[in-house]
A and B are shown apart, each in its own frame.
Chain A
Amino acid sequence: MKLRILKALLRKEVSLMRRNPLIPKMIIGMPLMVMLVLPLVAVLDIKNVNVAVVDNDRSVLSRQIIADIGASEVLKVSAMCNTHTESISIVEEGNADVILTIPPDYSRNIISGIVPVDVEANGVNASKAMLGARYVSESIGLTLRQWLKGQGINTVEYDMSVINIYNPTLNYRNYMIPALMVVLLIIICGFVPALNLVNEKETGTIEAMNVTPVSRMCFVLSKLIPFWIVGIFVVTVGMLIGWVVYGLFPVGNILAIYLATVLFSLVMSGLGVTIANSSSTMLQSIFVMFAFIMIFQLMSGLFTPIRSMPEWAQAITLAIPPRYFIEIMRSLYLKGTPIAELWEQYSALTIFAISFSLIAAVTYRKQS
């Protein structure tokens, strides 16, 4: 009997959603727009570091160092300066990010012992400065080792090579594509149920429901379940675009991705309904939802790795549901981690999904 009521309510939700002038367009249009455009523009890879060189040595070695920097994929020699002051003004004009100063008689002194070169970076763009300085010193290190070898000095002990596994090209895009699907789910499965329920309040149809004997759990479930389907649809569109447009296909199990998607849709729609329960207007619910979405995006490891956050912030992220979903998505997409190794993340999501749905049902009041 209860099941029959739930089925009737679900049918009503689907009909209303289909006939809504905006929601179907949003569910189809948003994933397309986000997946087609954002991976191209949200680029964090540091690729064009401009280097201003002050060469006080002017030897074969110093010329080799400069040539090697110029030959690098990520570095570009943008200016050759005679004085340090001159190079500083070039940085201030915005034409260089890193200054490399080679001291006088560098090639002569280096044979007898280690002599430092100066690498200065414009710290205004912190990540570019950090990576740029690292790229420059790596390039110099390589040149030096080869040159010293040529001089008969063995430097094999300094040799190291770095290989990035799982995302071999260190492509930020591959890192972002699974995360963008999480963003889509946060927005669509969070906002739409909230707006849907507040809309029923504003039009007064909720009153017609509240005066019937329909159970709270039944009514709230009818608001949550449609978003399993919406979530699966959004992720499918995202995976298809990722595959066709960017050539990135999940290495891991797709069913495991769908399972996490359903759990996370439940978390977000539960949150949306809870917020709607305590809002009386659309504006109110949108405002509160925005606050949550902002925290979710900044604290879930979406853009900034959780491990580089201060410890107290890392502790807070344990209570942020998208954190677990992002970990699952990235692991499944890039590493192909077996589901059994992600049991902690799946259990966390399950707990969140159950508790958010319950909170949504409990905070829904048929009587004021």
Chain B
Amino acid sequence: MKDNEKVISVKNLTKKFGSFTAVDHISFDVGKGEIFGFLGANGAGKTTAMRMLCGLSLPSSGEGRVAGYDIIRQPEEIKRHIGYMSQKFSLYENLRVNENIRLFSIIYGMSDSSMKEASEKLYKDLRMEDMSKTLVKDLPVGWKQKLAFAVATIHRPEIVFLDEPTGGVDPLTRRRFWELIYKASSEGMTIFVTTHYLDEAEYCNRVSIMVDGRISALDSPEALKERFQVSSMDDVFRIVAKDALRVD
């Protein structure tokens, strides 16, 4: 990958909490427009790694650049160019749908006209035209997740980070959610997504598998299946993660 194609570039990124090393010297690059899957068991360090990339957590050592900015020195610059959807639903439940959209659009510095345009597109894409005045807490889980994704990408960021975006929803809703991800990707956004669902890994251009804070495998799903001589990502994961020490 050429340097000018990389939107995320990380070298020896490490995060320690006391004597516990949550993320242990990971290095990888993500290219522009890629859908990059970040796999791993619970506690493997996925979320911690992602939080460092988003400027929410300061690395203990190592270096990295996201969207052209240094993750240690320019976290606030990075935040202008990324979107982030956390594992826990984090829109304001007691605000209406349109109030949430308005709040985040203004924070990202969007003008009134581009905000209007973006929210109309959002309602149309999500088929939520008649829900703009609904309190977010009254939406069903699947809708909430779609809305959270739409709000995280309202300002057309270069990269969007999704932390287990499809946790706890049915297969059909998951399927629809991935359609949204593909749509964003086709519009030029880079997608960085963590997941437990190995069928979702098949949808990614490349995946990395984290085991005990390290990256144990990184390639396209096809190449990984070929390397381990198996037919599904599920089997790849079983082989790579079988020696994991940090299991629940």
Contacts and interface: CB of A to CB of B under 8 A. Distances in A.
A205 B56 contact: no
A281 to B, nearest CB: 15
B229 interface: no
Interface residues of A, number: 25
A16 B95 contact: yes
A33 interface: no
A12 B99 contact: yes
Contact of B106 (A4, A20, A209): A4
A21 to B, nearest CB: 10
Contact of B92 (A205, A207, A214): A205
Contacts of A15: 94-95, 99
A367 B95 contact: no
B58 A20 contact: no
B58 A213 contact: no
B109 interface: yes
A368 B54 CA distance: 12
Contacts of B90: 203-205, 207-208
Contacts of B54: 211
A211 B56 contact: yes
B109 A212 contact: no
A368 B93 contact: no
B94 A368 contact: no
Given A12-B99, A204-B89, A367 B56 contact: yes
Interface in B87-101: 88-95, 99
Contact of A367 (B57, B89, B103, B135): B57
B1 interface: no
B156 to A, nearest CB: 14
B65 interface: no
A51 B107 CA distance: 72
B103 A12 contact: yes
Nearest to A215: B76
A213 B108 contact: yes
B207 to A, nearest CB: 23
A8 B56 contact: no
Given A208-B104, A211-B84, 19 more contacts: A9-B103, A11-B103, A12-B95, A12-B99, A15-B95, A16-B92, A16-B95, A203-B93, A204-B86, A205-B91, A205-B92, A207-B86, A211-B56, A213-B77, A213-B79, A366-B56, A366-B76, A367-B55, A367-B58
A1 interface: yes
A19 interface: yes
Nearest to A208: B90
Contacts of B106: 4-5, 8
Contacts of B92: 12, 16, 205
A8 B107 contact: yes
A333 B127 CA distance: 60
